[in-house]
Homo-oligomer: A and B are copies of this chain.
Amino acid sequence: MNKSVNSTQLKKIIREIGVKVTRQRLIILENILTGDEHVTAQAVYESIRHIAPDIGFATVYRFLRTLCDHKVLTEVRMRGLPARYEWAQKKHHDHLSCVRCKCIYEFENEQIEALQIEIAKKFGFKLTEHILELYGVCSKCQIEQNIPKEVSTPLQTSHVAQL
């Protein structure tokens, strides 16, 4: 949540993807590295406003996209909601989300991964990617059936569970 990063590291990341180092990119990247997980472009844009109100959201979108193209970030799109981004260095995992409070949990399941590969093989596919999303009602929401009606804050994540 608040890892510290120095601008040298940030510059290194930006240079390695072969684009110019700009003030806005440093700010955006730092925000992503030190901020919440599973953030939306809008959230990054807003979170940056107080320090750099001049950065347009087109720039945020563009750079997030660039970071995805270069596998620095991964785009997570759940249910037609706005795209969320996460650090791509994390180990592969899938997501489980509450349809009510929108919280997100991460999980990893080797058996499922293996079965997917098997299925693709049976169809003669060269598998490149997959999406596995589970939706349901989280344990909290099963009890407090009304209090936190809506969550406007960015989705929080627990650590990845090994199953």
Given that A131-B133, A133-B130 are known contacts, is A139 also in contact with B115, CB under 8 Å in the complex?
A: no
Which of A131, A138, A163: most chain B Cβ within 10 A?
A131
Closest to A115 in B: B112
Residues of chain B contacted by A123 (CB below 8 angstroms)? 96, 105, 107, 138-139, 161
Please give the count of copies of this chain that the complex contains.
2
A-B residue pairs in contact (CB < 8 Å), sample of 27: A77-B80, A96-B120, A96-B125, A98-B125, A99-B128, A99-B129, A107-B123, A109-B115, A109-B119, A112-B112, A112-B115, A112-B116, A118-B163, A122-B161, A123-B161, A124-B138, A124-B139, A125-B136, A126-B136, A126-B142, A127-B136, A128-B136, A128-B137, A129-B136, A130-B135, A131-B132, A132-B132
Residues of A within 8 A of B (CB): 77, 79-80, 96, 98-99, 105, 107, 109, 111-112, 115-116, 118-120, 122-139, 142, 161, 163
